Structure 1
Amino acid sequence: MGTKGQLVTDPRAAALASKAWPYEEARKLLKRYPEGKPARNGQPAPIIFETGYGPSGLPHIGTFNEVLRTTMVRHAFQAMSDAPTRLIEFSDDMDGLRKVPDNVPNQAMLTEHLGKPLSRIPDPFGKFESFAAHNNAMLRDFLDRFGFDYEFISSASQYEAGVFDDALKGVLRHYDAIMGVMLPTLRKERAATYSPILPISPKTGIVLQVPVEVVDADLGTIRFTDSDGEVLTQSVLGGQAKLQWKVDWAMRWVALGVDYEMYGKDLIDSGVQSGKIARVLGGRPPEALIYEMFLDENGEKISKSKGNGLTLEQWLDYGTQESLAFFAYREPKKAKQLHIGVIPRAVDEYFQFRGNYAAQPLEQKLGNPAHHIHNGAVPAANPPVTFGLLLNLVGVLGAGATPAQVRGYLANYVDGEITPELDALIDHALAYNRDFVAPTLVRRKPQGVEVAALERLDRELAPLPAETSAVDLQNIVYAIGNDGGFENLRDWFGALYETLLGSSQGPRMGSFIALYGIDNSRKLIAEALAR
């Protein structure tokens, strides 16, 4: 509501007032530049958003979430301001390979190149000029698949082309101040060999973790001891060195003019130290949202080495892309359990918010997750059945159910054609049921008052025409539960789910009976009573 109960109808005013987290984040950028970002070369300077990627592995669900959430903040800012924006996806492909990943071929070859920049190691897949180039290509394909609007920049391209040369000279000029930031945060053993600059050995090509001496900051030269004991004087420019992680992050912020970058709770300390270094270099750290990490179903932190997480591919096998975006949107500052079991609920909750969108006033629309998932272009129609109802249908049909069978049942329930979106939901439901539901279904024998209630339900269904509405069927179910001697309706519905569907939870039974068919539903009741 607007002032004194008036509805807000101006989109920009509504965005400026919205409490949805993307708008709250975007307002940080308005406060960052109260007079607008200073122009460059007479042209409006863009607000720069950045996300980072470590190309030692393939893109994953965390990569998707970070780019998606940052894109949502970018869109929110664009709703408030006419300033130009850019989203940079930055690949840290100058990092040295510390460990050979378990899921790639040619492990012996990679072992020979440990310590070298990822951009200078052969591609174990034999398709690209380097290991980093392979994973960078996978990243771009990944982002393009989801339609993200971004600019790709690789660390190696910036170092080797000299784009970072001035920033590297700045690091050398402020070497002592940067050491003053970092040394108090390090253990004694680490502090003894720490250097913000990591020279690359001209002999082995390995990124060296050795102390360095600044020879000439203006020329960009340093002195260090190579791995064979020889003392060398070498330039840090043109890709002959890289920076330690926290210094590199700060340098990148300053060199690229980054205004916004979100990162996980595990990088809080890195963000603090990099922010201090950015100021030492004469820059300003970006605005940031620090998001919580995902947990597994046991509430433990997800770990790649443990394999206790959920992959992007798994989610998209069993749920829609929009449902994943919905899951990512909700409460980014709160730890959430990420496992197979959350997918069905995310699918249905996404559609619930989407279905409410059209009738909402503007300020409520801006707080609706569907608005941010679709950048305001929210589809008008929802599928005629919930994902939960589809799961119950295919659960009754069994693990061998086919898409054609499900479409056959839907044809009697749905007005009009089965849309591509509904068709995709059928495939997701079949896959989810086959892999996770069917092996767990156990239909128990009805007991006590449940027997009489099921018998009455069968009698009342018997004379009904096949086209009886879901609402009328639901009213019958309710009436039987109210009159059947149950302590509460929850017990009656629980009995229906457990005896007819083999599950502890289920759909509105009126909708299920209408979809599955009255005759088929009576067969389920007969089987339960005969059990």
Structure 2
Amino acid sequence: EKATVEYNCSEELKGAEGCGHHGSQPVGDGRSKFGWKVDWGSRWAVFGINYEMYGKDLIESAKLSKQITKILGGHPPVDMFYEMFLDESGRKISKSVGKGLTVENFTHWGTPESLNYLMFKNPRQQKKLSSETVVQYMDEVLKMTPEDPEYKYIYFAGSRPQVPIVYSDLINIVSAVGVTDIPVLKEFIIDVYGPGITKNWDYVEELLTPAINYYTDFILPQRSFPTLSPEENRLLDLFLDLISRETEAEALQTGTYAIARENGISPKDFFQLLYRVMLGKASGPRIGGFVAQMGADRIRNIIKQHRN
């Protein structure tokens, strides 16, 4: 005998009145659905689920679902709960009100491997999701080597070429050059890293595309270059003298601090001045490493381009 359910369209909801229709339909054949708590345990039993992850807020629901699975003659899966994902302010993310990042957002600015790492790294630790999160996890997965224990789980689809570039480097290069045209950026990147980078250019371009997306969505709208005072121009001249003398990252970093101290400006303010002139924003990479990587001539040209 086929179970059926009868229904009436007679209720009122938020000012809308039911049409009065009365009918019935079979329960089976995919025409009905349990409430979600019962549905979860039932799926475990019917589909023979072996492993299930869920958020910390569903621990009690998971306990109930395990009991339902046993009642239906099934075996509850091995399970593990993970901590909450938080927005920039430390509150639980909510897609319904537009808080946090979606998978589509994350993979627009990063690679699937960086998303893998976000999910697999320290699942019992709360994680904040923001645009900076993408940069952090992209850099971390690009620094991994096949010898790292996590590598085979993050790159389970196959190993990647080893390249001397991290994601934040590419974002800084795009910001410094100020263009999103890949052929133009390719010339610049080859100039910085040498012709050997062309051997793995297809992979570099896979990284460059999301870096351009990140620059377009987060940096370009806020990008602006300052109108410099005579004193700021004088400080820039001192910085240009420094990069003409020094080539090592640490010497450049130390020398930049020395310019600030010797001229009565806080190092923080001086670094912000350099970032705003070179990148069009108030923060950026470690100055010494950035200049050493880009080269004095390129830095000199970038400052000349943006200097009034």
- Does the alignment reach a TM-score above 0.5? yes
Q: Which has the larger helix fraction?
A: 2
Shift of 1:423: 0.9
State the secondary structure of the residue aligned to 1:263.
strand
State the secondary structure of the residue aligned to 1:388.
helix
In 1, the alpha carbon distance for the partners of 2:106 and 2:94 equals 17
Spell out, residue by residue over 1:85-108, the C-alpha distance to the aligned partner (whole angstroms, 9 max, x if none). xxxxxxxxxxxxxxxxxxxxxxxx
In 1, the alpha carbon distance for the partners of 2:95 and 2:304 equals 48
Match runs of 1:320-339 below 5 Å? 320-339=111-130
In 1, the alpha carbon distance for the partners of 2:273 and 2:31 equals 71
In 2, the alpha carbon distance for the partners of 1:429 and 1:408 equals 16
Name the residue aligned to 2:285.
507
In 2, the alpha carbon distance for the partners of 1:350 and 1:527 equals 34
Name the residue aligned to 1:439.
221
Is the 8 Å Cα contact of residues 254 and 284 (structure 1) preserved in structure 2?
yes
The amino acid across from 1:317 in the alignment is H
CA gap of 1:385–1:239, structure 2 versus 1, over 3 A, is closer
Spell out, residue by residue over 1:467-526, the C-alpha distance to the aligned partner (whole angstroms, 9 max, x if none). xxxxx3424413423542539876654443244323333224355335545333213444
The amino acid across from 1:321 in the alignment is P
Q: Does 1:458 align with 2:240?
A: yes
CA gap of 1:402–1:473, structure 2 versus 1, over 3 A, is farther
Q: Does 1:388 align with 2:168?
A: yes
In 2, the alpha carbon distance for the partners of 1:200 and 1:380 equals 59
Please say which structure displays the higher CA radius of gyration: 1
CA gap of 1:243–1:436, structure 2 versus 1, over 3 A, is closer
Is the 8 Å Cα contact of residues 310 and 338 (structure 1) preserved in structure 2?
yes
Is the 8 Å Cα contact of residues 318 and 428 (structure 1) preserved in structure 2?
yes
In 2, the alpha carbon distance for the partners of 1:274 and 1:199 equals 25
Name the residue aligned to 2:189.
410
Match runs of 1:487-498 below 5 Å? 493-498=271-276
Is the 8 Å Cα contact of residues 388 and 506 (structure 1) preserved in structure 2?
no
In 2, the alpha carbon distance for the partners of 1:244 and 1:479 equals 64
Provide structure 2 residue ranges, at least 5 long, that are not aligned to the other structure. Answer: 10-20
The amino acid across from 2:249 in the alignment is Q
Provide structure 1 residue ranges, at least 5 long, that are not aligned to the other structure. Answer: 1-197, 207-226, 359-364, 465-471
Name the residue aligned to 1:481.
256
Spell out, residue by residue over 1:186-225, the C-alpha distance to the aligned partner (whole angstroms, 9 max, x if none). xxxxxxxxxxxx9445x99x9xxxxxxxxxxxxxxxxxxx
Shift of 1:377: 5.7
In 1, the alpha carbon distance for the partners of 2:253 and 2:245 equals 18
Name the residue aligned to 1:397.
177
RMSD of the TM alignment (CA)? 3.8
The amino acid across from 2:255 in the alignment is I
Match runs of 1:338-353 below 5 Å? 338-352=129-143
CA gap of 1:280–1:294, structure 2 versus 1, over 3 A, is same
Structure 1 range deviating more: 265-274 or 438-447: 438-447
Name the residue aligned to 1:147.
none
| TM-score, normalization by structure 1 | 0.47
In 2, the alpha carbon distance for the partners of 1:435 and 1:477 equals 31
Name the residue aligned to 2:14.
none
Shift of 1:309: 3.5
Shift of 1:317: 1.9
In 1, the alpha carbon distance for the partners of 2:304 and 2:30 equals 76
Match runs of 1:169-180 below 5 Å? none
Spell out, residue by residue over 1:142-164, the C-alpha distance to the aligned partner (whole angstroms, 9 max, x if none). xxxxxxxxxxxxxxxxxxxxxxx
In 1, the alpha carbon distance for the partners of 2:254 and 2:33 equals 73
- 1:274 is matched with which residue: 62, 65, 68? 65
Match runs of 1:8-19 below 5 Å? none
Is the 8 Å Cα contact of residues 106 and 134 (structure 2) preserved in structure 1?
yes
CA gap of 1:524–1:397, structure 2 versus 1, over 3 A, is closer
In 2, the alpha carbon distance for the partners of 1:422 and 1:275 equals 47
In 1, the alpha carbon distance for the partners of 2:273 and 2:173 equals 17
Q: Percent identity?
A: 30
Is the 8 Å Cα contact of residues 275 and 283 (structure 2) preserved in structure 1?
yes
Match runs of 1:5-404 below 5 Å? 199-201=4-6, 228=22, 243-352=34-143, 354-355=144-145, 357-358=146-147, 365-366=148-149, 368=150, 370-375=151-156, 378-379=159-160, 381=162, 383-398=163-178, 400-404=179-183
CA gap of 1:302–1:419, structure 2 versus 1, over 3 A, is same
Name the residue aligned to 2:13.
none
Shift of 1:347: 0.8
CA gap of 1:237–1:509, structure 2 versus 1, over 3 A, is closer
Is the 8 Å Cα contact of residues 302 and 309 (structure 1) preserved in structure 2?
yes
State the secondary structure of the residue aligned to 1:288.
strand
In 1, the alpha carbon distance for the partners of 2:258 and 2:33 equals 76
In 1, the alpha carbon distance for the partners of 2:297 and 2:30 equals 74
Spell out, residue by residue over 1:60-103, the C-alpha distance to the aligned partner (whole angstroms, 9 max, x if none). xxxxxxxxxxxxxxxxxxxxxxxxxxxxxxxxxxxxxxxxxxxx
State the secondary structure of the residue aligned to 1:298.
coil
Shift of 1:330: 2.0
Shift of 1:246: 2.9
Is the 8 Å Cα contact of residues 410 and 515 (structure 1) preserved in structure 2?
no
Q: Does 1:429 align with 2:220?
A: no
CA gap of 1:351–1:281, structure 2 versus 1, over 3 A, is same
Structure 1 range deviating more: 515-524 or 328-337: 515-524
In 1, the alpha carbon distance for the partners of 2:208 and 2:72 equals 55
In 2, the alpha carbon distance for the partners of 1:240 and 1:407 equals 55
